[in-house]
Structure 1
Amino acid sequence: MAAGEPISPVIRVQREDFDSAAESRKLTQGRHDIGALVSFVGLCRDEAGILQALELEHYPGMAEAEMTRIGTLAIERFSLLGLTAIHRHGRIEPGEQIVLVIATATHRQAAFDGANLVMDFLKTSAPFWKKEHGKDGTAGDWVAAKDADDTARDRWISVLSGSGVTE
């Protein structure tokens, strides 16, 4: 993509794993206007050895639409030069990748802030649900949202409201 062209986020919801290095190359190949690339990979934890796997479900179509909305907010607010967000669904075992967010910008702070905003909104606004499966064979409850995630998202809402970009 040439400098000055409108940027659209690259959004995918998929069962299969992703290659973060390959996704980074796609965003930067042939680009000389990018001064920063920030990437975040969320991994499945074993929760102190008791978790066998997470089962992730999503609302097809709506999840991608919400991720696109969130990505577009980040691009507009931080003048990002590129953004990729990939979220997996299905059964994911400890150590496996769940989510990838890559933000590129002219300067590092915009890339950090853009990636951070996307993750904070993904945790609270995108229609994904997690169910824990224990090593003892039990299926736990669906994981409830955390207050800390709402607080992180709310911080961005106040930032966005002062910028002319609406949440």
Structure 2
Amino acid sequence: MTTTEPTGRTEEAPEPRNWRTWLREHSELGVCVMLLALGVVVLTDALTMDVEIAQRGPIGPRTVPVAVGIGLLAVSVLLAVDVLRGGRGEAEGGEDIDLSEPADWRTVLLLAGVFLATAVLIEPVGFPVAGALLFWGAAYALGSRAVHRDPLIAAGLSLVTYAVFNNLLGVPLPGGPLMGVL
């Protein structure tokens, strides 16, 4: 669209802004929506939690999830206000990464496969074995190639984690068939 000034010059009028442009300039609002939805889910889950444990004192099993849910809602609202007032997140500069390089999808897929395998195997083989596979697989996916050392460290980490959670913290983890032998 052009306009003519009294001096006879023709200038281009700025194009009207559409919703796509506005949303692109305020893309951080997507994070706000995600945080808001997550806060609602956490609060709903915390408030509808079936609590069978006798509560001693003012802090019960709902306290932390409710606090986290309220925190998520508060951060969502504060971030939305900042974005709507013109605030923008600073672009990631990266200390030791080259942002012009593509993502390393091989590593991402290997890690995802290791996590999925752990989720599938934890019940039938138990945490010590599944945890060892998780630790070793993550080390391998992230570039470690110490074939003799990594499985031993992974097994040690997994057994220590199992013992701490199962025996010291009272969080029962599936032991699997090997725990009958040990």
TM-score between the two structures when normalised by the length of structure 1: 0.27
Larger radius of gyration, structure 1 or 2? 2
Relative contact order (C-alpha < 8 Å, sep 6+): which is higher? 1
Say which structure is richer in strand.
1
Say which structure is richer in helix.
2
